[in-house]
Amino acid sequence: MAAVRNEGDTCRSAITFHSGSLRNGRHYVACFGFSVAGQQESTCEANGSIYYVGEWYFLDSDHCTQCECTAEGSLCARTECTSLPAACIHVSHYPTDCCPRCEKIGCEYRGVVYELGQNFQPSECEQCTCDSDGIARCLVADCAPPPCVNPVYQPGKIPFCPNCYVDASRTQVIPAGDPIWVDSCTKCRCHDGQDAGYWEGNRLATCSRLRNCKPEHVKGLNK
């Protein structure tokens, strides 16, 4: 039921509108909230300001809390944040926002981001799908072990081999690329016939040995 403004009541805020032409028409004043004559009006004080009953405001000290001024005082409630999508992989927090924002949804697998529903093959033996919950689920085929040490997998490609064993004993590992002196008499190299830092193929290095040489241990080798 709407309140009735009587003579003597003080209007706090009003707008004027016209009916008919501006010259001959009538004008009316719509009053939004008023103080009843002879009665003490309830107010709320917050943020260094005065608020009247029925007014809403946010706290300056906590912009996530909204309050309503009532005759009994301020009634406040904190903003409830909705749950972020399960597939959210990038969340941002802005100083002016009450709730975190989800900037990106998808699946992150081995450092690569995939779209929801996307099928991908991180290696020759894996077939994966980015599910709606943000989890990449993969099927692994029975594949032969990669022909190298510490293979580097790239989507849809044969694994690259950055290292290899010095010999069949597999007690020493050297990096691919430039020749490595494994001792004072033996020089080895991981390669596939090309001057590439990465190579494919044999797990064992190609080595050459100096004649009539007594080997000494070389520091810094991986065993």
Domain residue limits at 58: 10-78
Section 109-120 average pLDDT: 90
Find out whether 208 and 186 touch, Cβ atoms under 8 Å: yes
pTM, full prediction: 0.37
Is pLDDT above 70 for 5? no
* Shared-domain flag, residues 129 and 74: no
Total tally of structural domains belonging to the chain: 3
Is 119 domain-assigned? yes
19 shares its domain with 43: yes
Q: Indicate if the pLDDT at residue 129 is higher than 60.
A: yes
Say if residue 179 is in the same domain as residue 114: no
For residue 2, being part of any structural domain is answered with no
Residue 215 clears pLDDT 90, i.e. is over it: no
Which of the residue ranges 13-17, 124-128, 136-140 has the most confident prediction, judged by mean pLDDT? 136-140
Q: 22-54 burial, b if ≥16 CB within 10 A, otherwise e?
A: eeeeeeeeeeebbbeeeeeeeebebeeeebbee
Tell me the pLDDT band of 146, cut-offs 50, 70 and 90. Answer: low
Domain-ending residue, one of 78, 105, 130: 78
Q: Which of 96, 124, 143 is the last residue of a domain?
A: 143
Question: Residue 192: how many CB atoms within 10 A of its CB?
Answer: 13
